[in-house]
């Protein structure tokens, strides 16, 4: 099917949103049982967090494989291979005999899940550009945000009668369902005449050189790297802070995490409406400021001992910001690079997953606390705001409203 023949129906948007979310789902679903995993395998909290880190690194570097391959071989085949591999390695995690094997399988699971994250963005770029692309990405973000809402609630409930291994069997089942859906309903949006005749590291490095010469892409890359550290700190540390620090149960944590993810839905929905009036750059800045405000509130609540309510409020504000930053950063980064959309999306996605998986376990060595999490989020978000204001603060947006 030709790219210009692909129609962005509600069914296609739903399928793309789920395919984009199945990699991150491998973290969201089992977050409520991270403390139980640490006890079961008799490892430290920091080492248990490392199972999140290696998966996140896999999600990052796997995009560097899937993205260029989708530019060369089309979007559909590399995505199907990724879903099959994700299903297999999810099952392998369920039977891992030790923490070492679990870390290996989690890394491979992340590499496999990366295909959905990057190729879905490339498919969106195949169909749309400019303001229309930003709106399409907002729809995908809205659909993809449902998974983090449902996953922790489901995980919290499953924790009542499943140990941590059972969660990976659930992920394997989800992968199998997505594979069948993609086989039946996913069209090819990148026709043969638009594909590249070469691939591999040489092409990727060549693309990187071209992309870094583009001021907008370069700025988004730096912001995504810094912002990714704040987000991963929240993702990997919040379950320990809320359960071990504030004493909530896994089931209650699942509900709280889902409620926080609803804030992302609110942000995505608001962004989708506003992008018809304001440029992606302006809305991108709004998201950066919200992220800093949320991180600062979380940090102050920990430092001053204000309790759980203001801490959770800070997390909620921060999560609302992602509904603005994620779709607008992708729109700004991808619009001028349709011929290398796979590589552009892959490099952008990898940049957001580089620092966080390294920083969070190091910070956790000194103990996981509300203060440590809040300061980490606020510090990196402050750097994001400074960078964003320097690049986009005085320059008018390049996209016309609705353009």
Q: What is the pLDDT of residues 313-325, one digit of tens each?
A: 999 999 999 889 9
User: Is 398 a member of any domain?
Assistant: no
Is residue 399 over pLDDT 90?
no
Q: What pLDDT digit, counting tens, does each position of 356-395 carry?
A: 777 777 777 777 789 989 999 999 999 999 999 988 876 5
Is residue 242 over pLDDT 70?
yes
User: Is 403 a member of any domain?
Assistant: no
Q: Is residue 243 very low, low, confident or very high in pLDDT (cuts 50, 70, 90)?
A: confident
User: Is 397 a member of any domain?
Assistant: no
User: Is 299 a member of any domain?
Assistant: yes
What does residue 54 show for φ and ψ, rounded to 5 degrees? -70, -35
Is residue 344 over pLDDT 90?
no
Kindly report the CATH number assigned to the domain that includes residue 131.
1.20.1250.20
Q: Is residue 295 very low, low, confident or very high in pLDDT (cuts 50, 70, 90)?
A: very high
Are 295 and 234 in contact by the 8 Å Cβ rule? The answer is no
For residue 243, the tally of other CB atoms under 10 A from its CB is 19
User: Is 402 a member of any domain?
Assistant: no
Are 318 and 295 in contact by the 8 Å Cβ rule? The answer is yes
Residues sharing a CB contact under 8 Å with residue 275, sequence separation 6 or more, in sequence order: 131, 134, 135, 138, 283, 327, 328
The DSSP secondary structure of 258-300, one letter per residue, reads HHHHHHHHHHHHHHHHHTTTS-HHHHHHHHHHHHHHHHHHHHH
| Average model confidence (pLDDT) across the chain | 82
Residues sharing a CB contact under 8 Å with residue 154, sequence separation 6 or more, in sequence order: 29, 254
User: Is 363 a member of any domain?
Assistant: yes
Give the residue among 224, 340, 338 at the shortest CA–CA distance from 284: 224
Q: What pLDDT digit, counting tens, does each position of 4-63 carry?
A: 445 556 777 778 888 887 777 777 777 777 788 888 888 887 788 788 888 888 887 888
User: Is 399 a member of any domain?
Assistant: no
Residue 3: what pLDDT?
44
Terminal-to-terminal C-alpha distance of the chain? 26
Provide the number of structural domains found in the chain: 1
> Residue written as tokens 């750097």?
383
Residue 401: what pLDDT?
35
Domain that holds residue 330: 3-392
Residues sharing a CB contact under 8 Å with residue 194, sequence separation 6 or more, in sequence order: 3, 339
Is residue 200 over pLDDT 60?
no
Residue 63: what pLDDT?
82
DSSP state of 395: S
For residue 399, the tally of other CB atoms under 10 A from its CB is 23
Is residue 182 over pLDDT 80?
yes
User: Is 384 a member of any domain?
Assistant: yes
User: Helices 130-158 and 99-127 meet at what angle, rounded to 10?
Assistant: 150
Token digits for 151?
């996953």
Q: Is residue 152 very low, low, confident or very high in pLDDT (cuts 50, 70, 90)?
A: low
Q: Is residue 145 very low, low, confident or very high in pLDDT (cuts 50, 70, 90)?
A: low
Is residue 339 over pLDDT 80?
no
Residue 304: what pLDDT?
93
């Amino acid at each position: 099917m030709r790219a210009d023949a692909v129609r962005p129906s509600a069914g296609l948007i739903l399928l793309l949103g789920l395919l984009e979310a199945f990699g991150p789902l491998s973290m969201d679903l089992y977050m409520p049982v991270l403390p139980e995993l640490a006890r079961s395998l008799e490892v430290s909290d920091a080492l248990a967090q490392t199972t999140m880190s290696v998966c996140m690194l896999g999600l990052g570097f796997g995009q560097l494989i899937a993205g260029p391959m989708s530019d060369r071989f089309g979007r559909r085949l590399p995505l199907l291979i990724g879903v099959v591999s994700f299903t297999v390695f999810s099952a392998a995690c369920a039977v891992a005999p030790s923490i070492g094997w679990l870390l290996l399988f989690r890394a491979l699971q992340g590499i496999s899940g990366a295909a959905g994250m990057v190729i879905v963005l490339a498919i969106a770029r195949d169909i749309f550009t400019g303001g229309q692309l930003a709106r399409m990405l907002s729809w995908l973000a809205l659909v993809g945000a449902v998974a983090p809402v449902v996953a922790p609630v489901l995980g919290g409930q499953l924790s009542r009668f499943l140990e941590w291994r059972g969660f990976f069997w659930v992920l394997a089942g989800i992968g199998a369902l997505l594979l069948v859906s993609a086989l039946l309903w996913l069209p090819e949006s990148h026709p043969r005449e638009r594909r590249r005749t070469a691939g591999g590291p040489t092409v990727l490095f060549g693309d990187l050189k071209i992309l870094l010469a583009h001021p907008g892409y370069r700025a988004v890359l730096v912001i995504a790297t810094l912002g990714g550290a704040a987000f991963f700190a929240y993702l990997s540390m919040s379950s320990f802070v809320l359960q071990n620090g504030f004493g909530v149960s896994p089931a209650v944590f699942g509900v709280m995490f889902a409620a926080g993810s609803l804030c992302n839905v609110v942000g995505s929905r608001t962004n989708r409406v506003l992008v018809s009036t304001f440029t992606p750059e302006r809305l991108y800045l709004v998201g950066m400021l919200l992220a800093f405000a949320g991180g600062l509130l979380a940090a102050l609540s920990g430092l001053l001992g204000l309790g759980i309510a203001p801490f959770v409020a800070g997390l909620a504000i921060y999560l609302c910001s992602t509904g603005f930053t994620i779709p607008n950063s992708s729109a700004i980064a991808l619009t001028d690079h349709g011929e290398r959309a796979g590589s552009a999306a892959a490099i952008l996605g990898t940049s957001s997953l580089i620092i966080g998986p390294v920083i969070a376990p190091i910070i956790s060595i000194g103990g996981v606390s509300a203060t440590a999490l809040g300061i980490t989020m606020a510090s990196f978000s402050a750097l994001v705001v400074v960078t964003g204001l320097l690049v986009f603060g005085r320059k008018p947006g390049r996209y016309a409203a609705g353009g």
